[in-house]
Structure 1
Amino acid sequence: MSSKKRLVNTLCVHAGNLEDEKYGGATSPIYTSTAYDYRGEGTNLYPRYFNTPNQVALAQKIAALENCEAGLIFGSGMAAISAIFMAFLKTGDHVILQRAIYGGTSHFVDAEFTNLGIEYSFVEQVNSESLKAHLKENTKMIYIETPSNPLLEVVDMTVVSAFAKANSLISVIDNTFASPINQNPADFGIDIIIHSATKYLGGHSDICAGTVSSSQKHMDQIWKTAKNYGGSLSDQTVWLLERSIKTLGLRVKRQTRNAKKLARFLEKHPSIKRVNYPGLKSHPDHKIAKAQMHGYGGMMSFEFKESINHSRFLEELQVIKVALSLAGVESTILAPTETSHSLLTPQQRKDQGITDQLLRFSVGIEEVSSLIEDIERAMEKSRKIAK
């Protein structure tokens, strides 16, 4: 694990704060207006332009956490992802994408790129050889997600950034699963960093948002496209997200510690076929994760043996919530085949190793003992009776 020390909690609390100059309040004031005086110096303020006081302040906080020059806040993670694609790709261009990425992103690419005349290639294993094999004269971008959803595959970001720079490509990463607390792709040369802020940044399962961090040069181009698509976030939600991020470091540290303990427990359990967690030495990408992550995160997935009825298991859980989304303070679990990757074809899921017995587990801040007890009780009640 990286030995680099960052004042993450100080950044979470203080970076990009709006000062309450009138009353000296400890929290940022909230500006909800959609109509501002346009006279005088400066840019016209308008929510769709991503430049209202609360939007700008939060973008600065996100950029600081990701060690980038600039940030932008969107209405959802997919709004951020689609804005990146549309800002840098045009008809006739080609993009290389990691196969193991969020199902919504894969679906967007399959559903929209052909209509737009954009070529794309999915690669199973992201390394120098696979990138070179798929490189074309019209390739403009490499898009990765590490750790990936839902199998927690880890990609070597140094390899990706070096290849991108050597071939004048833009490198983009979905950093949602790691969060800025556990991983900072800009330090490894990645150009553009995306988060579904609905997840760890929001952290309480009550905010839908997305973020992008990059150099100012790249952000200027992103902004030109983003303002046309209208994917901005209301200032009320911006303010709530800013408040949530103040505890990001504390929450993620606890979730990461819990997840490592739970991964070890599950790995030894006789009813579990495999556990996907980069913090385990048995994980095929453990060494890469150790080299580029500050912590291994609160996300994992595991696959039951056939002796467990996974649907019944979900019904029997009492502490862990069966729910969409992830990274809240409460532990949640879901079946990717029925949710995050349901838009993929059965063959596509099979190719990625996503089976019906696979569950994605987002570990919360509860005591580990209560989570283990809940899992053991649910497994016992969902065990299939041998005929």
Structure 2
Amino acid sequence: MSDKKFETAAIRHQLERSNQKEHSVPIYATSSFKFEDAEDARSLFAEEKEGNIYSRYSNPNNDEFIQKMCLLEGGETGMAMASGMAAMYTSMAAFLSSGDHVVASRSLFGSTHQILTKLLPKWGITSTYVDILDDEGWEKAITPKTKMIFLETPSNPALDLIDLEKICQLAKSKGIIVNVDNCFATPYLQNPIKWGADIVTHSATKFIDGQGRVCGGAIITSEELFPEIKFMARHTGPSMSPFHGWILSKSLETLAVRMDKHCDNALKLASHLEGNDALSQVRYPFLPSFPQYELAKKQMKQGGGIVTFELKGGIEQGRKFLDALKMISLSANLGDTRTIATHPASTTHSKLLEEERLAVGITPGLVRISVGLEHIDDIIEDIEQALVASK
């Protein structure tokens, strides 16, 4: 983190401007860059000095975005990626070889699960899942071939938390890389590197963009680990477009104020829904009734913008509830200014087997609400009327 406060660093860190003295950085819509002379070209390709060669490698807009992300996460360096899943895959593939082993939290985003169970095994890379609440399971799952621990906290969509300090201490004692998907919390609410994580990954598509406009991802790490990530990304091409880098850099300028409102609305919604007779449970990390409330207070600034609840009527009531919503959007995305309702069992996690979904708390009646920035009274009113209509 820079010596500036979060909000100031997100707004005031910027690349040098051109001789036009523009206040806002322009979009560098170029595929390549000119060299001063033959020696300049040679030294850039030899990586003897920093500079732009080709936008698949680097681009000023993406550089500004990732530099801001490093400042906000407390990392040393990183790379902007075309999507969140490009970030997840690249951050794994850069370090894993045939015969290696990954220990992962059982509750993961559906596509991350597919990487671990369907893609990596093609190259002889195995993985073991650990139940998030099984404190002893992490150490038991580690083998001499374990190269990486990959986890989400809060998890998608159950909002289970993992004690980052404890996991990172365990991994450090065994020389294992810890890779944390920090998408739900954002760097404003949680900094895994502070607790000892080696790599932090993001789907910038979500709260970092915050308005449902672009896809993007980010990998934040140390100077020591970065060369492997840089090599993998340069030669496989999951690069972010300059336009998206420009948007996401501007988005970071409002991240703090947006997350404050997301969190405030989410806590008010969760508190209001507790005790509703149509629901068997309401989950939100900063609710005092949340099983891991103390851990949430320890490693998160606020509880985030996601609330989940379980409809007593299961899948049928879930469908009726979604169909009865009048204002809230139905979408598989999250982190938007607009409140979004998602049914994970039939969308984001539908590729998992039923027993796999149940193992991570994704029951047929589970609904995930990405709480937006509308007035909280209007959000509550729409959910309340849909609950009544779905009974």
Amino acid aligned to 1:337: A
Distance in 2 between the 1:53 and 1:113 partners? 33
Is 2:214 aligned against 1:207?
yes
Structure 1 partner of 2:376:
368
1:296 pairs with one of 298, 303, 313: 303
Distance in 2 between the 1:294 and 1:272 partners? 27
3-state DSSP class of the match of 1:35?
A: coil
Structure 1 partner of 2:102:
95
Structure 1 partner of 2:34:
37
Q: 1:298 to 1:6 in 2, by over 3 A?
A: farther
Structure 1 partner of 2:192:
185
Amino acid aligned to 1:232: S
Contact 1:75/1:231 (CA < 8 Å) preserved in 2? yes
Query: How many angstroms does 1:44 deviate by?
Result: 4.9
Q: 1:222 to 1:194 in 2, by over 3 A?
A: same
TM-score (structure 1 length as normaliser)? 0.94
Amino acid aligned to 2:249: E
Contact 1:76/1:210 (CA < 8 Å) preserved in 2? yes
Structure 1 segments of 4 or more deviating over 4 A?
Answer: none
Query: How many angstroms does 1:6 deviate by?
Result: 7.3
Structure 1 partner of 2:25:
28
Distance in 2 between the 1:349 and 1:82 partners? 22
Contact 2:90/2:232 (CA < 8 Å) preserved in 1? yes
Distance in 1 between the 2:91 and 2:18 partners? 35
Is 2:344 aligned against 1:336?
yes
Cα RMSD for the two superposed structures: 1.5
Q: 1:53 to 1:231 in 2, by over 3 A?
A: same
Amino acid aligned to 1:372: I
Amino acid aligned to 2:131: E
Distance in 2 between the 1:274 and 1:377 partners? 18
Amino acid aligned to 1:47: S
The unaligned stretches of length 5 or more in structure 1 are none
Query: How many angstroms does 1:196 deviate by?
Result: 0.3
Percent identity among equivalent residues?
A: 35
Structure 2 partner of 1:10:
8
Is 2:44 aligned against 1:46?
no
TM-score (structure 2 length as normaliser)? 0.93
Contact 1:128/1:160 (CA < 8 Å) preserved in 2? no
Contact 1:127/1:159 (CA < 8 Å) preserved in 2? no
Query: How many angstroms does 1:132 deviate by?
Result: 1.5
Distance in 2 between the 1:175 and 1:105 partners? 13
**Counterparts of 1:241-320 in structure 2 under 5 Å?**
241-306=248-313, 309-320=317-328
The Cα offsets for residues 170-224 of structure 1, whole Å up to 9 and x where unpaired, read as: 0010000001111011111111001100001111001101001111111121111
Query: How many angstroms does 1:312 deviate by?
Result: 1.5
Query: How many angstroms does 1:20 deviate by?
Result: 2.5
The Cα offsets for residues 85-138 of structure 1, whole Å up to 9 and x where unpaired, read as: 111110011110000111110011111122110121000136552121111111
Amino acid aligned to 2:24: T
Distance in 1 between the 2:5 and 2:348 partners? 34
Amino acid aligned to 2:284: Y
**Counterparts of 1:72-111 in structure 2 under 5 Å?**
72-111=79-118
1:69 pairs with one of 76, 81, 85: 76
Query: How many angstroms does 1:23 deviate by?
Result: 2.3
3-state DSSP class of the match of 1:216?
A: coil
Amino acid aligned to 1:8: F
Distance in 2 between the 1:127 and 1:206 partners? 38
**What number of residue pairs does the alignment pair up?**
377
Is 2:332 aligned against 1:324?
yes
Contact 2:345/2:364 (CA < 8 Å) preserved in 1? yes
Is 2:205 aligned against 1:198?
yes
The unaligned stretches of length 5 or more in structure 2 are 44-48
Query: Which region of structure 1 is more displaced relative to structure 2, 274-283 or 307-316?
Result: 307-316
2:122 pairs with one of 115, 121, 125: 115
2:149 pairs with one of 111, 125, 142: 142
Distance in 2 between the 1:188 and 1:146 partners? 13
Amino acid aligned to 1:11: A
